[in-house]
Amino acid sequence: MHTLEFATRSRCELCDITPQLRAFAARMAEERAWLHGALVLFCPHTTCGLTVNEGADPDVRRDMLASFSRLVPEDGNYRHAEGNSDAHIKASLHGSSLLLLVEDGRLCLGTWQAVYLCEGDGPRRRSLWLQWLPGAEEI
């Protein structure tokens, strides 16, 4: 298992982690550790999640954050004493894991797609755990 570390800057943000994931996949291919298969991402935090969505237009990211804030407002009538119930709910909406395909050491994403770490209770240091699932030709 491998770990990547990220520092978020805002209470709620969608942090584009695609460049770090591309670099990781390329490094693993360069080291001949693996070329083809799937990369499992797991976010071990209860107030942060993962998603894949458009990365070309920054307005999409802004619209998503605004929509999540309307759906799950920070100042809702919550009982959780830490004051971050909205972040827990948003993390459940995003999910804590992703499965990304890798071919020839490159992430297989659609033309406009990016991978986002979805911060709900920042700014914080966040970890992301990565596990490799080899393709059939590498077994």
Tokens 């909406």 sit on residue: 93
pLDDT of residue 33: 75
Average pLDDT over residues 17-24: 97
- The one-letter amino acid at 37: G
Q: Tell me whether residue 32 is exposed, middle or buried, using C-beta atoms within 10 angstroms of its C-beta: 0 to 12, 13 to 18, 19 or more.
A: exposed
Indicate the Cα dihedral angle 132, 102, 27, 128, nearest 10°. -50
pLDDT of residue 138: 59
H-state helical runs in 32-135: 58-71, 85-94
Q: pLDDT digits over 61-70, tens only? A: 999 999 999 9
Q: pLDDT digits over 96-108, tens only? A: 999 999 999 999 9
Q: Is the dihedral of CA 108, 110, 111, 114 positive or negative?
A: negative
For the chain, list the domains and their CATH numbers: 2-75+82-133 (2.60.120.460)
CA dist 58 and 61 (Å) reads 5
Strands (E), 1-139: 2-7, 13-16, 37-42, 48-54, 97-103, 106-107, 113-119, 125-134
Cβ–Cβ < 8 Å for 104, 134: no
Q: pLDDT digits over 39-86, tens only? A: 999 999 999 999 999 999 999 999 999 999 999 999 999 999 999 999
